[in-house]
Structure 1
Amino acid sequence: MTIPSSADVPGPAVPAVSMSRPAPPSVPRRLAAAGAVLALLAAGALALGAALRDPLRAVLLPVLVVACVMAAWTAVVNQGRRRVAAAVVALAALAMLVVMLLTGSPVRLVVVVVLVVAAAGAARVAVAHDLAPAPGVARAVGPARHGVLIMNPLSGAGKVVRSDLAARARGAGVEPVLLERGDDLRALAERAIAHGADVIGMAGGDGSQALVADVARRHDVAFVCVPAGTRNHFALDLGLDRADVAAALDAYGDAVERRVDLAVIGDRVFVNNASLGVYATVVRSDAYRDAKLATTARMLPELLGPDAPTFDLRFTLPAGGTAATTDVLLVSNGPYRLGSLNGFGTRARLDTGRLGIVTVTVDRARDLPVLLAAEARGRLESFHGYREWTTPVFRVDSAQPLVDVGVDGEALRLVPPLEFRSLPGALRVRVPVHAPGAPPAAVAPAGPGEAATALVRVLAGRPAR
């Protein structure tokens, strides 16, 4: 890729993938596919041999795992005697599970785990290149003339300070602006652009990223995401290395620029998602930031227990008709690939021009075991109370005067109805030339079937997809 020497002379548009027929996989990729298949076969043979030698253990192990998970969940969503009884069962099942694993063959268990991990790594090398979708059209751009980076020193438990980001920014020719208590972040971003910034970035959490990105898109100024927050989901889906905060500064130099979508709820922009129902209510708790797991465990009995009331959230379903309630409602800037409820996964791309909608509705009396089974398999979409679809606009109504909403992890209370819209291609984003370039959802098969098919195709010398 030829990089111009100045931002005044942008590089040519560079399609993310060639429009010609994909090239056959290289020899190293075919070897990786063979290694993945052999490792999986070896792990399966070891597991099958153990099962044949001790069939009772083979049956009891998965039963104990399921019993442990279900009892633990029952303890979380109940109170009083039910919680105590379920906790006792969970601990007993866990203890039996540990004993069975230790009295078996620890060496065989370790070998199986190592083989599975090795197979997963080799499979990714073999197929990820072909599975990653084209993230729209990118172009090579030269260094920023006047780059500005706003930094939140409190975000991410002090990542800005630990990475010495201000000094590194100055060394890269970027003007650092420190966000202090009481400062208006939007005003700082507006002032930076008014003073000539042609590239503006934010080092902080996703809520701060969204606010500065909104200012950038209003002025059509290029934006740089520096992953200095706690989770950095936006950076992950941009294909950045979240473990190397300072590496994102390279986006102010020779870089790659592309347009990505933003989403709005009312007039508030978000880069990841807005959640309603269970998650939004938990996030609103004052104790959540300091003790996420403890706060969730304390609140779940009130939200998903057998006697918990339903949420008043009304919206139109994709096939027509209106839903009157759901327990989890996620509206995202582009569709997510979800495997479980413990996080919101990743997006394969950020330029679909669509909102992703996910709802999970639980019958408190009978659905928890089924939901847990789907969660344990990483196949949340198989749960019958799960729905997902995409749409450019979405509306949520409620009879409540205020609705709890978690917007990019920030707890809000908003007046219904809530109007969501996608803003296709609204933001110009710069990423370093050396960035990994693809989020996990873009390079991982959607399930075992797709993974097996992709490996066979690569072994046969054909593209994985």
Structure 2
Amino acid sequence: MGVGGRFGARESCGTARGVLQRVLDADRGVFETVARRHWPGADALLPRLSRAADHGVLWFAVAGAIAASRTPRARRAALRGVGSLALASATINTVGKRSVRRARPLLDVVPLVRRLEKQPHTTSFPSGHSASAAAFATGVALESPGWGAAVAPLAGAVALSRVYTGVHYPMDVLVGAALGVGAAFTARALVPTRDQARPPARPRAEAPALPHGAGLIMVVNSASGSSERALALRAALPLAKIVECEPQALEDELERAASLARVLGVCGGDGTVNAAARIALRHDLPLAVLPGGTLNHFAYDLGVEDVRGLARALERGDAVRVDVGMFSTEQRRGIFLNTCSLGVYPELVRERERWAGRIGGWPAGLLSAVRVLRADRHPLEARFQGRTHPLWLLFAGNGTYHRMGVMSGRRTDLADGQLDVRVVHGGRWPAVRLLSAALAGPLTRSPAHAAVQVPHLHMEHVSPGTLLAYDGEVTHVRGAVTLRKLPRALTVYRPMP
């Protein structure tokens, strides 16, 4: 390099140092200005708030309060906020604090009443508290803008408290907050929000608008714990008729409602919604679905989560047409809105129902998985596409299921005309085969499992006594089993974006 080149490099380096020094001087100047200014009420509040945020305790408490509202969106917002916080905290503590060794501010200009009892010993840049606050608030807002707006002022106060108490320079706080926001968006890339996977608002359907719910009869399965939602629905749609009934009277009440209503409504889990859809199809009525059971896959994939969204769709007449799956055997016919399966899964469903009333839903699910997968059994044998196949599991989804980041699959289109068929082949080690199929992508093919999208599927020589599960219900089948689609057969209300 020539003299001119070396001189130019030294000049550039000197300029960069000068700019950095001016930034650092301005940063210290802002810190000292904050320290010298008296803020009414802040001396009693901000130090306590800063201590409360130690180790994320404040944010775990806020997450618990949000989740206590008992709405699906609020629970997801709380979980996403905590997940974003965890990612931000891990990044700051493993990378951020070790990359820039900036000393903590001198406390000479900070009044004693503001100082924390225990001063932090880690480096100052960036602020971990600010990163956690911003990550939590951003994570909550990505899932629920309303809850995000409620949490944002608290997050801002925590970030401010770190400068006010003298433990961070303003730049530490700003960079920490930026890293927290980035962590929340990174978490969203790994685990997309439900709004990112909302099914398309098509095909649009003609459906009556029901001002204040006039013309709607909503049948509520009281066994699904939906009484609170029924009360909320009465408040949102005062002219709707709400009928609560026990499971044994559900079919009769749905039939009675269908003969009188302009729109048939149902509140319950997937099994309850299946029964209502079957009756709505028979009477050629649009269906209004309000999730209220343990499993609400159809309602959530449709985009209906709460009373407010459904009420808005009913009053505006916003509706779409969706596909319906149908199975037919030598003994019976039925429909499915979510999934239909043969093999191990129906046994899991039956075993889970056996224990759920005694130990609860999730423990029953774990216990049933252990009991079924440990049992000594022969694979199911079924003949389709001209060949006899030993199977541990045959799953058919009403619509294609897509993996969402690291999350399990969801449907983004409820009118694609396809059955999403997954097969886990028979052989040794069924638990290993089932686990590998669950972890693999939806279209992965291997010696253990395969997947294909087809409009119909016909199986023959199904062994007598074979269980078939559909939308959480279980029945016995034998001989020939046919699965097919009824494209865009059902009109359902859903809130439009």
TM-score by length of 2: 0.55
1:273 aligned to 2:273?
A: no
Determine the C-alpha separation between the residues in 2 that align with 1:236 and 1:189.
22
For 1:114-151, what per-residue CA distance to the aligned partner results, in whole angstroms no more than 9, with x for missing partners? 8544323379999987x877453315755235111111
Determine the C-alpha separation between the residues in 1 that align with 2:464 and 2:409.
31
1:331 aligned to 2:396?
A: yes
SS in 2 for 1:416: strand
Aligned-pair CA distance for 1:276: 1.7
1:152 aligned to 2:221?
A: yes
Determine the C-alpha separation between the residues in 2 that align with 1:309 and 1:112.
52
Determine the C-alpha separation between the residues in 1 that align with 2:478 and 2:456.
18
Question: What is the aligned partner in structure 1 of residue 282 from structure 2?
Answer: 218
Superposed counterparts of 1:127-276, under 5 Å: 134-139=200-205, 143-144=209-210, 146-155=215-224, 158-161=225-228, 164-165=231-232, 167-168=234-235, 171-180=237-246, 182-183=248-249, 185-195=250-260, 197-241=261-305, 244-245=306-307, 247-266=309-328, 267-276=333-342
Aligned-pair CA distance for 1:251: 2.9
Query: What is the alpha-carbon root mean square deviation over aligned residues?
Result: 4.1
For 1:239-261, what per-residue CA distance to the aligned partner results, in whole angstroms no more than 9, with x for missing partners? 122xx345423332113122111
Question: What is the aligned partner in structure 2 of residue 15 from structure 1?
Answer: none
Determine the C-alpha separation between the residues in 2 that align with 1:413 and 1:121.
42
Determine the C-alpha separation between the residues in 2 that align with 1:280 and 1:419.
17
**Structure 2 runs not aligned, ≥5 long:** 1-83, 99-177
Determine the C-alpha separation between the residues in 2 that align with 1:261 and 1:389.
18
Determine the C-alpha separation between the residues in 2 that align with 1:300 and 1:137.
38
Percent identity of paired positions between Structure 1 and Structure 2: 25
Determine the C-alpha separation between the residues in 1 that align with 2:431 and 2:457.
27
SS in 1 for 2:402: coil
- Considering fraction of residues, name the structure with more helix: 2
SS in 2 for 1:190: helix
Counterpart code for 1:143: A
TM-score by length of 1: 0.58
Larger Rg: 2
Determine the C-alpha separation between the residues in 2 that align with 1:126 and 1:211.
30
Q: Contact 1:207–1:270 at 8 Å: present in 2 too?
A: no
For 1:334-387, what per-residue CA distance to the aligned partner results, in whole angstroms no more than 9, with x for missing partners? 1222579x997311111112222111236435982x8657756x6465472221
- Structure 1 residues 117 and 419: CA distance shift in structure 2, 3 A: same
Aligned-pair CA distance for 1:423: 0.5
Aligned-pair CA distance for 1:168: 2.6
Superposed counterparts of 1:307-456, under 5 Å: 308-316=376-384, 320-338=385-403, 345-361=409-425, 363-365=427-429, 368=432, 379=441, 382=444, 384=446, 385-433=448-496
SS in 2 for 1:364: coil
SS in 1 for 2:251: helix
- Structure 1 residues 422 and 213: CA distance shift in structure 2, 3 A: same
SS in 2 for 1:200: strand
SS in 1 for 2:264: strand
Counterpart code for 1:239: G
Determine the C-alpha separation between the residues in 1 that align with 2:368 and 2:242.
41
- Structure 1 residues 416 and 204: CA distance shift in structure 2, 3 A: farther
Q: Contact 1:371–1:383 at 8 Å: present in 2 too?
A: no
1:120 aligned to 2:120?
A: no
Determine the C-alpha separation between the residues in 1 that align with 2:298 and 2:192.
24
For 1:189-211, what per-residue CA distance to the aligned partner results, in whole angstroms no more than 9, with x for missing partners? 2322322x111110011111112
**Structure 1 runs not aligned, ≥5 long:** 1-35, 51-110, 438-465
